[in-house]
Amino acid sequence: MKKVSVFSLYLLSFGLLSAQVLNTAFIDSIGGEKVGKLSISGWMDAYYGKSTYADWNNATVPPVIPGLVSNTYYNMVDINLAYVDFRYVTDQLKIRLVPAFGSYMDKNYTGGNSLNHLMEGSLGLKPWKKKNVWIEAGLIGSPFTNENPVSRDHIMYTRSLAAEYSPYYLTGAKITSPLSSRLKGSFYVLNGWQNIYKEENLPPAMAVQFEFTINNNNLLNWNVYYQNRSTNTRIFSDVYWIGTQGKWKFTSCLYAGNDEDKIPPAIPPTSIFRRDGFWCNANFATSYEIAPNTNLSTRIEYYQDLHHNIMGKVFGAAMGINRQLFNQFYWRTECKWWQTQSTSTGSKTNIVNAVTSLGLGF
């Protein structure tokens, strides 16, 4: 983790020369059709994957890396995500509805409620005409980690484990305001970690976000989540960087969380990394444009959760080739290696995945 963070800070020292970078934590709307104040855009990506551990989703034993929601089916063609994004914006009001379908939605939104096929749905109000302060409420995008669900927006086609083990969406309200010419802040009051409806007998969660635009080519984001539950206090924080330099693109995410019981354990942990409710991540990805509309990409990552989700450690690396065929039609192919290490047995398992995809937007 130290090597990844040092390398990320080292890259920040370069002089950068390309267009302004966007915060890829939130889904973007590129292109689309506009009718008055209404904008309509859409996206769909389909893929086919192979894996050396192809049946782990349906295995009778617990899967090696449980709970993944993106690009998890193998030996079949699958639609990962398809959506239509409706945005209505005036000077002081905005509405956003993003109905969505695909295996990402099926795995991510559980329960039999009418919001299961809505990736986002929010209302926004700008109370003062001369101040760029917005208040939004509803089902809103998550600011955590640098990867939203839309593959088009990212260096790699598949998402890292960082995104898989942090909130995919949030329900609640937020207020966003510029704090300076380069710094923007948001404050959230939420139903919970990833809850459409409020958990019974639990207080609401709080979150803050600070987005710092270093220059046109570097963006740094810091988030903090806090919820004081009856049996445990959940606190989570992530910091990520997004940058460009000529034909290069870079991104890195570091995070840590703790969800330990309030009752102290009988045997105190030897370090923070071995605490019962602690989990952490570090990753770095980069791409290089080898030809017009064609780039090579790679990612390294580390994820640890000794006692809950994966009950161990995961080291990963991936490489891919990505080509924008025309307009918003993309072809992407990626190979990924994961090595998992069990906390209880120390045994290691190697998983190699390969996936190819076509994505189309408007």
Tens digit of each residue's pLDDT (9 = 90 or more) over 134-160: 999 999 999 999 999 999 999 999 999
DSSP 194: S
Domains of the chain (ranges, CATH numbers): 2-361 (2.40.160.10)
Tens digit of each residue's pLDDT (9 = 90 or more) over 25-78: 888 767 788 998 999 999 999 999 998 875 555 544 444 576 788 998 888 999
For 309, the 3-state DSSP assignment is: coil
Q: What pLDDT score was predicted for residue 345?
A: 87
Tokens at residue 157, please? 């086609």
pTM more than 0.75: yes
Q: What pLDDT score was predicted for residue 200?
A: 65
Distance CA 98, CA 360 (A): 16
Tokens at residue 302, please? 């580390």
Q: What pLDDT score was predicted for residue 12?
A: 38
For residue 223, pLDDT beyond 50: yes
Q: What pLDDT score was predicted for residue 29?
A: 66
Q: Which residues contact 236 (CB under 8 A, 6 or more apart)?
A: 144, 166, 224, 225, 255, 256, 257, 258
- Residue 60 pairs in a beta bridge with none
Q: Which residues contact 112 (CB under 8 A, 6 or more apart)?
A: none
